[in-house]
Structure 1
Amino acid sequence: MATDTEIEWMKLTFAELNARAAEDALVIVPVASLEQHGPHLATGVDIICATGVAQRVARRMAGAGHPVVVMPCVWTGLAEHHIPFGGTVTLDYAAFAAVLKGVVRSAARAGFKRVMLLNGHGGNAEAVAVVGGECQSEFGVAVAAGTYWHLAGDAFAPILERQSNVMHACEAETSMVMTLLPEAVRLDRLPDAHGPHSTRPEGQPAAMIRRRSFKDVTPSGVIGDARSASAAKGEALLEAAAERIAGELASPRLWS
């Protein structure tokens, strides 16, 4: 592949990355988690999806003439609420913030001036936003942060049958994994891949945050219903996310 079309940081040489920095390329850092995703999905779902979305966003931006490069995924996140199931890795906030700051600091020292922390795990959302702000003030670079399905907004709803956006190990995530890494889906367990459609008990407002163990909320580990998932939906979701987020990140006003 020609280096001028390559978007993955780890596939470029230091000289090629120096050239990207000189072009004021945007650095996209996928941020995820390694955790249980119900009876039917491998634990790397958030890594698979965050990386897949980030790379599609970057390719779309590069195709439109915007210099961009994608870091390898930061695969550890804040997943204490999944620990009781097993198969989950979590950091505390201090370690998580330190990892993200180390990555952004390194990008800044390499000459890059714009970084997007593209999150793919709900438990990271608030922390990624806080760290992004701290990085911006500490390192003097422009840092944006957001969770990909929040950034996609209403783009997912027309594609899904049983929900309007991403939940957990749900129709949306299962569909995207069917597209990106089908061997990570246990099709024989799909009949068991359903649960409540919210982690919030009655009376808890949508604007109120209180983390609960998923083990207490959903015995299956699923929030939503994955039984209607398909690879076709996954492809449509990934393309919808790429189109929406690439447009958002290409806006000069975001970085001014």
Structure 2
Amino acid sequence: MYSELGASEVSWAGKTYPEIINTAETPGSILVVPVGSIEQHGHHLPVATDTILVDAVAHLGAERVSDELPILLTPPVWTGYSPHHMPFGGTMTVEHRTLLTLLEEVADTALENGFDALLFLNGHGGNASLISSAVSTVGVAHPEAEILGLTYFQLADSFIDEIRESELGGMAHGGEFETSLMAHLRPDLVSDGDATYWEEPYDRAGDDLLHGGPLSVYRTFDEYSETGAIGDPELASAEKGEAIYELLGDELAVLLRTVHDQTT
């Protein structure tokens, strides 16, 4: 189970070192590094939401292809770059350079085992540009390997309109999307939340989880919301969360198969 360190069949943490090396040296081998955060998610979700969700999706996708290709997952990197959440309590963040260095060094040492590909799977929007930077710097340092990065919820772009009920701005930080996933995966950690839709004054900036714009804007979250959450958790349900989760697993499995094909 993804929530228990080392228990999954694809978990690096539960393997002996000869098992890890054997997997890594098999042609087309893939290592997935989930990257999350510890930050406030309003009054209704735990601060580990991003880490819980990216770890769960990473395991689901990897387990779906584990009979077909050599793949392992590291334990999640639980800290992220979250200074914009600091006005609220409960958030822990590291410097941008610190997290980039950490990911580079994790990749450097992991790739020494012989993996053909490494995927940074990100769970926090504030990490997205940093993940792109890590793909570039690790890729330069390891030209022999396929280095990739993806924010997991972007996998939902092709199907989310069939599931969501909220209007634009209802799926953001602690909104319909994340609350539904948590209601499915960890209902014991979810309580009632109020709706605060994302209102962005710049037309070319992002205003929903899967509706980003070309304009980057920095603001702390207290400028968007009194609770720290943005979106409509009142429309969330465990049923939606299960549907989203299963489809995310399907999409990630497709990507992993493509990565394997690229490296064999």
Cα RMSD for the two superposed structures? 2.0
Distance 1:108 1:163, change over 3 A: farther
Shift of 1:106: 1.4
| Partner AA of 2:25 in structure 1 | A
Hey, what does 1:174 align to over in structure 2? 179
Contact 1:31/1:117 (<8 A) preserved: yes
Q: How does 1:39-78 map to 2 (within 5 A)?
A: 39-63=43-67, 65-78=68-81
**Please, which of 217, 222, 229 is the counterpart of residue 210 of structure 1?**
217
Q: Which runs of 4+ in 1 moved over 6 A?
A: none
Distance 1:243 1:52 in 2: 13
Equivalent residue number for residue 120 of structure 2: 117
Is 1:145 the equivalent of 2:153? Answer: no
SS in 2 for 1:15: helix
Q: Equivalent residue for 2:198? A: 197
Gaps of 5+ in 1: none
Matches within 5 A, 1:1-256: 6-24=9-27, 25-63=29-67, 65-140=68-143, 141-163=145-167, 166-186=171-191, 189-190=192-193, 192=194, 194-198=195-199, 200-205=200-205, 206-252=213-259, 254-255=262-263
SS at match of 2:19: helix
- CA distance in 1 between counterparts of 2:167 and 2:247 reads 16
CA contact (8 A) 1:34 1:88 kept: yes
Closer/same/farther in 2, CA of residues 254 and 147 from structure 1, 3 Å limit: farther
TM-score, normalised to structure 1, is 0.90
Tell me: CA distance 1:133–1:182, structure 2 relative to 1, closer, same or farther (3 Å): same
Aligned-pair identity in percent equals 33
AA of the residue aligned to 1:150: Q
Please, which moves more after superposition, 176-185 or 32-41? 176-185
The structural deviation recorded for 1:53 is 0.5
Pairwise CA distance, 1:46: 0.1
C-alpha change, 1:248 and 1:180, in structure 2 (3 Å) is same
Q: Note if contact 1:30-1:51 (Cα within 8 Å) is conserved in structure 2.
A: yes
Q: TM-score, normalised by structure 2?
A: 0.88
Are the equivalent residues in 2 in contact too, given 1:152–1:245 (CA < 8 A)?
Answer: no
1:181 offset after TM fit, Å? 1.6
Q: Which amino acid letter does the alignment assign opposite residue 72 of structure 1?
A: P
Shift of 1:152: 3.0
Separation of aligned partners in 2, 1:246 and 1:163: 29
The count of aligned residue pairs is 248
Mapped partners of 1:254, 1:86: distance in 2: 44
